[in-house]
Structure 1
Amino acid sequence: MNELLDGLLSDAAARHGVMGAQLAVVMDGERAQAAAGVANAELGTPVTGETLFQIGSTTKLHTAALVLGLADAGLVELDRPVADRLPGPRLPPGPLRDVTPRHLLSMTSGLDNGPYADTGRGDDCVARYVDLLADVPPVFEPGEGFGYSNASTVVSGLLVERVTGATWDAALRDRLAAPLGLAHTVSLPEELPYHRVAVGHDAAGRVVRPWLLSRGLGPSGSTLCSTAADLAVLGQTLLDGGVAPGGVRLLSAEAVEATRTPHVEVEARWFAEQWCAGPYTKVWDGVAVYGHGGTNLGGSSTLVWIPERNAVLAVTANTPSQGYPFAEEVFGAVCSELLGLALPVREEPDAGLPVDASLYTGVYETCDTRYEVAERPGGIAVTTTSGGGGLTCDLLPLGGHRFWPSDDRLGGMHRWDVAFVPGRDGRAVRFMNGAFAARRTA
């Protein structure tokens, strides 16, 4: 299997311009892996199976596992408001005081995605980030919908800190990485010199500078570095009912069931169909798949596990702009060759579908992005403004309040559909740029 994976990975990396990558596969307990390309194009450093990549938001699975483990130990109540356990940080007022850990893990808290802010390097940087959220309006009330949120996961990380008395980084090391034997999973920059490390590259193959690790956003995915093989161990643990490959029980059967129980439908469905306590779930060729992906300026990763096939797939890459399409091609090839599964084909919009522009036109906002939806001949268009930049593109109908943007740049590094969430009168109350929810403000 290793030879097959080597070829699949190298071919996909060449087609997508990915400088360096790893692939790990577990099938019926048998593990195989592959590595390709360079970790640093300026130095010509080759990628090995032990090279650490920045994994981005796949980190949210690690934070979810920590919270669920604390629930197993009776230290966290999944349905008790987190505000009861977080004296000090200024949480958003009003209904969001009722946010529970289950809301946080299932992306139903109503918290805005939050600012991409660096709150320093001290041990209180996670708490300082949560303090920022008091000034960020909520998108919706807890449990009323789906909205992917880095802020939600940072609050989960702070909960871990307050319950354990340790930093999120220390809790991750002692309560997750050590029991699972994840020797190549680290979150602090001072740990990185003791490992082989991949740096990020842009689409032209140039090294990305600076190396940026925002510790305050660590629980949501800004700092954690790992390997495809270590990610696969976490996936195998969740696949095997919470028991790690070495026989250590990390999570109870009840906790694992929470990671497989859908809590909410996702309106924009290309990247996920439902969300559980930690992972998303979607369907490939009639088979349920669970997982999470992530991308930041230095790297990209995706981890999925497929209970019906007793399989785990993990991929890392150091060309973030290509991370998601690269992972999709790699997983598609592995599924076709080894699992007898075909990945979904991207839906094509239907220009003939009627669009009632009056339901959607208006202004939608997050803490750092403004979307203005306007009528155009035969349909609607959206203009987005963020960080001094802007983009206007048509929204091409897919049906059911879903649209495909005419310009993939609307989703940043993601290539996904968008959607509107209708209110009781049918008029949209939220705009979903893929995973991210924006509230209507005008």
Structure 2
Amino acid sequence: MPKVGERRPDLDRADAERRDSIAMEDMLTEAARRLGVTGAQAAVIAGGEPRVAAVGTANAELGIPMDPRTLIQIGSTAKLHTAVLVMTLVDEGLVDLDAPVRRYLPELRLADEEAARSVTPRHLLSMTSGIDNGRYDDDHDDPLGYLSTFADLDMLFAPGDGYSYSNASTVVSGALVARMTGLSWDEALRRRVFEPLGLRDRATLWEELPYHRIAVGHAPDGSVVRPWALARGSGPAGSTLCSTAADLARFGELFLRDGGGVLSPGACAAMQVPQVALPTRRFADEWCLGPYRRDFSGLEVFGHSGTNLGGSSTLLWSPSTGTVVAVVCNTPHAGYPLAAEVAAHVLGSVPEDVEPVTRQTADPGRYEGRYAACDLRYDVTSADGVLTVTLEEAATGRSSPPVALLPLDGDRFLPEVDLSGGRGWDLAFVVEDGSAVRLVSGAFAARRVR
């Protein structure tokens, strides 16, 4: 027993956790106010139960306050859930990471038939399939139905020959899960991930929403975003999953617990092995089998992040410190800056990068040209040694004003005006034989067409 006047260790620990929670809530409140965030949650796991903070408003029109159990759409962080589902199939011997996807989904069609025959699950999970990102106008009931829209998607590169973030790739992964389990992606996620981990504050279906407290998306001016949609066909890529920071952190903890009973230790470890280096650096350094890997000033961090019209999320974990950080908010344009501040507060470290020192580009001609993806065109030109890019929407033909590209290092540039919706991403060119063959804007690639 403790001596008279001596504090019990468990009380000391409880006091410390309360102080940490208060400090995190104060920090989250201040950061959300400064960044114009309507409502947010943060959760941290470091060897115990999550410390959770919730601030602001879930729905500004109704004046509903945010609380720790309010669901927020998490966007593309759902891709990490889909990757885990695929790896459960690998664990069971139902899927071979290096076999052609057509072995399991013979109906997969792409504009390039040779690519369709050679793309593998490993390519899908590591963002090296070469499949374009795909369109966002999804009106399909499931991922298998959404596959039919991929037949006219041009390839950005041959499978395995580069990197490009791709919603379409992850939809293929979701269709693979549905085909091999005989379940919908939603039901497979519930049975194989949520229930084994004891996660209850989550939803992917409209009919689940009445049983939860829900946040809606907010624009930069604080108004409510409409419509609030759940597009099921692209659910595996991030259109439907709603969660809390606490449940997102518990999900992320499986990577620090040898798979948490959902994956084998071997599959869990394999998911955190880098597969490809990114040409850009301000989104991630490398991509693994589902998560990205980032260098936080010497601290190795894995994770995923995502944004859609309803919300934004970031999930990070540090194996060396045993820490998981999850941040969700209902103001998408400020979600990544908010998560960056929370991560810096918790981890005590931030990613570092060089800053531009000139507007002049050496040999700008190697980059000049037109680059195309399914939804955007990039026209890169130069004048007096200054490289500029103009964006054109493929569907409408509307163009942005030219934006100067400020040299960083190698073939990387920082747009003088942010092109990534507040994320602060860089832009890089992939150069072969002295000339660029594609560009990568933050995460998304476009192939050079002239």
Alignment match, 1:362:
369
Runs of 4+ in structure 1 deviating by more than 3 angstroms, as ranges, are none
Which SS does the other structure have where 1:394 is aligned? strand
Alignment match, 1:339:
none
**1:157 pairs with one of 171, 174, 177:** 174
Alignment match, 1:49:
68
How many Å separate the matches in 1 of 2:95 and 2:36? Answer: 44
Alignment match, 1:117:
137
How many Å separate the matches in 2 of 1:9 and 1:60? Answer: 26
Structure 1 counterpart of 2:412, which letter?
A: R
**1:228 pairs with one of 231, 245, 261:** 245
Deviation at 1:379, TM superposition (A): 2.2
Is the 2:277–2:287 Cα contact (8 Å) retained in structure 1? Answer: yes
Alignment match, 2:447:
439
Deviation at 1:134, TM superposition (A): 1.1
How many Å separate the matches in 2 of 1:11 and 1:347? Answer: 28
How many Å separate the matches in 1 of 2:383 and 2:230? Answer: 42
**2:219 pairs with one of 185, 194, 202:** 202
**1:405 pairs with one of 404, 409, 415:** 415
Which SS does the other structure have where 2:195 is aligned? helix
Structure 2 unaligned spans of 5+: 1-19
- 1:35-74 alignment runs, 5 A limit: 35-74=54-93
Which SS does the other structure have where 2:446 is aligned? strand
Question: Within the alignment, does 1:419 sit opposite 2:431 as a pair?
Answer: no
Structure 1 counterpart of 2:285, which letter?
A: E
Deviation at 1:30, TM superposition (A): 4.3
Alignment match, 2:121:
101
Structure 2 counterpart of 1:403, which letter?
A: F
How many Å separate the matches in 2 of 1:242 and 1:329? Answer: 28
Alignment match, 2:326:
314
Question: Within the alignment, does 1:19 sit opposite 2:3 as a pair?
Answer: no
Alignment match, 1:246:
none
Structure 1 counterpart of 2:399, which letter?
A: G
Alignment match, 1:142:
159
Is the 2:296–2:352 Cα contact (8 Å) retained in structure 1? Answer: no
Deviation at 1:127, TM superposition (A): 1.8
Deviation at 1:239, TM superposition (A): 1.4
Q: TM-score, normalised by structure 2?
A: 0.93
Deviation at 1:51, TM superposition (A): 0.4
Structure 2 counterpart of 1:344, which letter?
A: P
CA deviation map 1:120-155 (0-9, x unaligned): 3x3xx3122211111011000011011000000000
Question: Within the alignment, does 1:212 sit opposite 2:220 as a pair?
Answer: no
Deviation at 1:174, TM superposition (A): 1.1
How many Å separate the matches in 1 of 2:244 and 2:50? Answer: 14
Deviation at 1:377, TM superposition (A): 1.4
How many Å separate the matches in 1 of 2:103 and 2:145? Answer: 18
Alignment match, 2:297:
285
Instruction: Judge which range, 381-390 or 8-17, deviates more.
Output: 381-390
Which SS does the other structure have where 1:52 is aligned? strand
Structure 1 unaligned spans of 5+: 244-248, 337-341
Deviation at 1:88, TM superposition (A): 2.8
How many Å separate the matches in 1 of 2:80 and 2:174? Answer: 12
How many Å separate the matches in 2 of 1:186 and 1:413? Answer: 27
Is the 1:119–1:126 Cα contact (8 Å) retained in structure 2? Answer: no
CA deviation map 1:245-266 (0-9, x unaligned): xxxx111111111221000000
Is the 2:45–2:51 Cα contact (8 Å) retained in structure 1? Answer: yes
Is the 1:91–1:131 Cα contact (8 Å) retained in structure 2? Answer: no
Structure 1 counterpart of 2:39, which letter?
A: G
C-alpha distance 290-165 of structure 1, shift in aligned 2 (>3 A): same
Which SS does the other structure have where 1:209 is aligned? coil
How many Å separate the matches in 2 of 1:354 and 1:331? Answer: 34
C-alpha distance 49-64 of structure 1, shift in aligned 2 (>3 A): same
How many Å separate the matches in 2 of 1:109 and 1:42? Answer: 42
Q: Percent identity?
A: 52
Which SS does the other structure have where 2:440 is aligned? strand
How many Å separate the matches in 1 of 2:239 and 2:424? Answer: 21
How many residues end up aligned between the 2 structures? 427
Deviation at 1:413, TM superposition (A): 4.4
